[in-house]
Structure 1
């Protein structure tokens, strides 16, 4: 059982990179090498789910962990959501499992989502519009959103530029346009009871993200993927004031190490009463733990 009171923080954004014991042979190594170079990763190989759990347990930080289903867009075999959920269940004192399903899977994806929720303890869903090649407000995705909304679970969407394909030939075919947070304004209107997390400082659309979040009360922002020392001043200002109850700590493990993120966050001019909200209390309320 997770003892939330003893936790230092809740990291809303960590990746299960190779949790299922199957080595990808479809170009995934080149992709990982590109990501490691972009983020200057200290890892020679992506950490496993148990290794991730051990790292976060040592630091008394709970971690929301998820894979990303990008089979259709990239050809990379996806990681089994059920195996990720089962691995996380073995470390339920520290890991909170989210799943990822390409919205292009339609009704089959919605059925998988319901099984994961009902039988495997999944607590939310991760989407990456650029990596998955879709506009978040495409109506074809709504059958999957309906399954998530029915269960009262949150949906986390990558927004802004991405390290995926950065510096690779043709950007590995990744199109940044899909990850403009303004598309999620439509989703927030059509699913007003589904909590939606905009992942990352949304460069170059930071003000769009802040506008959507201040206008729609079911929109949250996580601060993952960047060192806090690079946060634009307007993001820090909104996190300190208008959005202080809907901004969340996230690292983007293993791309960004939580130790580095937290160290740099200490240097930001965040109000004393706001800091614990961002680090833990907002996520605790969002996840109902």
Structure 2
């Protein structure tokens, strides 16, 4: 049941070292507590040994080096900056593009932006962070519906943060129960949760049993903290539904993730699906 060696891995949340921490300004402007306002990384209270001191002169090479160390064949990266554009152009076999939903309050602008990213980069997915929008837009808010339909039209999944938000902002917009209505209204939408779904992980399992196109990714979690309900589900009826995702370099090192991964009690038959096959199917990497 230990993690087998040599399996090619698809990481559904990876990025590149970034100079400074201005990429988190959109979170800080929403927080009110002193700790969040003064911290470089607004959720640092949740993580140990955040990789802050990585070299930034060649960020793509840094990430590729770490990927090679731990057997990551392909990484899903957000089309947010020059490093991503460089990586996609020069290493198309290692990186696949993911769009970012910036402001769903601007419905028309968001739909246009998703379609533009699809035409320009060929994005294979869209990322969403409901608690990080300002004003916040809930998972089941009507403003999200044109965006969901756009994902269906383009045949791309949406990776959406669900559960209590890490930053000290309100979390009601990410309640897992909200996903039920979305899946009812968009049966063809492929919806992948990010960041744990806690404390509603058991509800997430119930909803995955109910909805064929609902999945769960393990982003932003050290493997020892994968919820028991998710491990049990993967080992029984949910082997096709649980997808690996990391959090490098935002909050975790790959060394910490994969050193800890060896202790996750997945069945032998689950590992290939968890580390690669499920992501390849959802992202249509094999056509």
TM-score for the superposition, normalised by structure 2: 0.81
- Find out whether 1:154 has 2:157 as its counterpart: yes
1:226-241, aligned counterparts within 5 Å? 226-241=221-236
Distance 1:42 1:241, change over 3 A: same
Q: Could you list the per-position Cα deviations for residues 22-72 of structure 1 after superposition, in whole angstroms to 9, with x for gaps in the alignment?
A: 9569558845333344312342257765132342244331211227xxxxx
Match of 2:71 in 1: 60
Segments ≥4 residues shifted beyond 6 Å: none
Match of 1:262 in 2: 258
Distance 1:32 1:89, change over 3 A: farther
CA contact (8 A) 1:98 1:126 kept: yes
2:173 and 2:54 mapped to 1: Cα distance?
26
CA contact (8 A) 1:181 1:202 kept: yes
1:233 and 1:24 mapped to 2: Cα distance?
32
- Find out whether 1:275 has 2:283 as its counterpart: no
Bigger relative CO (Cα 8 Å, ≥ 6 apart):
2
**Unmatched tracts of structure 1, length 5 or more:** 1-5, 68-78, 165-170
CA contact (8 A) 2:50 2:252 kept: no
Distance 1:209 1:262, change over 3 A: same
**Unmatched tracts of structure 2, length 5 or more:** 1-5, 30-36
CA contact (8 A) 1:159 1:179 kept: yes
CA contact (8 A) 1:56 1:94 kept: no
Distance 1:45 1:146, change over 3 A: farther
CA contact (8 A) 1:158 1:179 kept: yes
Distance 1:283 1:24, change over 3 A: closer
